[in-house]
Amino acid sequence: MKTLDPETLRSVVEAVVSRITAANGQAPAPAPAAAVKSSSCGCGCSGSEGRYGVFTCVDKAAEAAHAAHLQLKKLGVAGRAKVIEIVKTLAVGNAEPWGRFEFEETKIGRLDHKIAKLLITKNVPGTEWLQPYALSGDGGITLEEYAPFGVIGAILPVTHSVPTLTGNVINMVAAGNSVVFNPHPGGARSAAMAVRAYNEAIKREIGIDNLITTVESPSLESFDLLCKNPHVALLAITGGPAVVNAAMKSGKRAICAGPGNPVVVVDETADLARAARGIVEGGAFDNNLLCIGEKAVFVVGSVFSRFCEELQKAGAARINAQQLEKLTAAAFTFKPGEGGGCSHASVNRALVGADPSKLAEHAGTTVPNGTQLLFAETDADHAFVQEEQMMPMMPIVPVPDFETGVREAKRAEHNYRHSAIIHTKDVDHMTYMAKEMDTTIFVKNGASVAGLGLGGEGYLSYSIATTTGEGITTPKTFTRVRRCVLVENLRII
131 and 187: one domain? yes
The answer to whether the CB of 127 falls within 8 A of the CB of 461 is: no
DSSP characters over 189-230: HHHHHHHHHHHHHHHHHHS---SEEEESS--HHHHHHHHH-T
168 assigned to some structural domain:
yes
- Coil, strand, or helix at residue 332? strand
Give the pLDDT of residue 343: 61
DSSP characters over 380-408: TTSHHHHS---SSEEEEEEESSHHHHHHH
CATH of the domain at 271: 3.40.309.10
CATH of the domain at 80: 3.40.605.10
Task: Tell me the pLDDT tens digit for each residue of 246-266.
Answer: 898 899 999 999 889 999 999
Does the pLDDT of residue 9 top 50, yes or no?
no
pTM score above 0.75: yes
Confidence class of residue 47 from pLDDT cuts 50, 70 and 90?
A: low
Give the pLDDT of residue 210: 98
254 and 277: one domain? no
250 assigned to some structural domain:
yes
358 and 245: one domain? no
10 assigned to some structural domain:
no
> By percentage, how much of the chain surpasses pLDDT 70?
89
5 assigned to some structural domain:
no
176 and 295: one domain? no
103 and 185: one domain? yes
Measured between alpha carbons, how far is residue 83 from residues 231, 408, 413, 465 in Å?
Answer: 22, 46, 38, 24
3 assigned to some structural domain:
no
Task: Tell me the pLDDT tens digit for each residue of 360-402.
Answer: 999 999 999 999 999 999 999 999 999 999 999 999 999 999 9
282 assigned to some structural domain:
yes
Confidence class of residue 19 from pLDDT cuts 50, 70 and 90?
A: very low
290 and 423: one domain? yes
324 lies in which domain range? 263-333+344-454
19 assigned to some structural domain:
no
| Mean pLDDT for the stretch of residues 228-241 | 94
2 assigned to some structural domain:
no
Number of domains in the chain: 2
Residues in the chain, total: 493
169 and 214: one domain? yes
283 and 235: one domain? no
> By percentage, how much of the chain surpasses pLDDT 90?
81
The backbone torsions φ and ψ at residue 449, rounded to the nearest 5 degrees and listed phi first, read: -65, -15
422 and 438: one domain? yes
Measured between alpha carbons, how far is residue 452 from residues 290, 369, 393 in Å?
Answer: 11, 29, 22
279 and 231: one domain? no
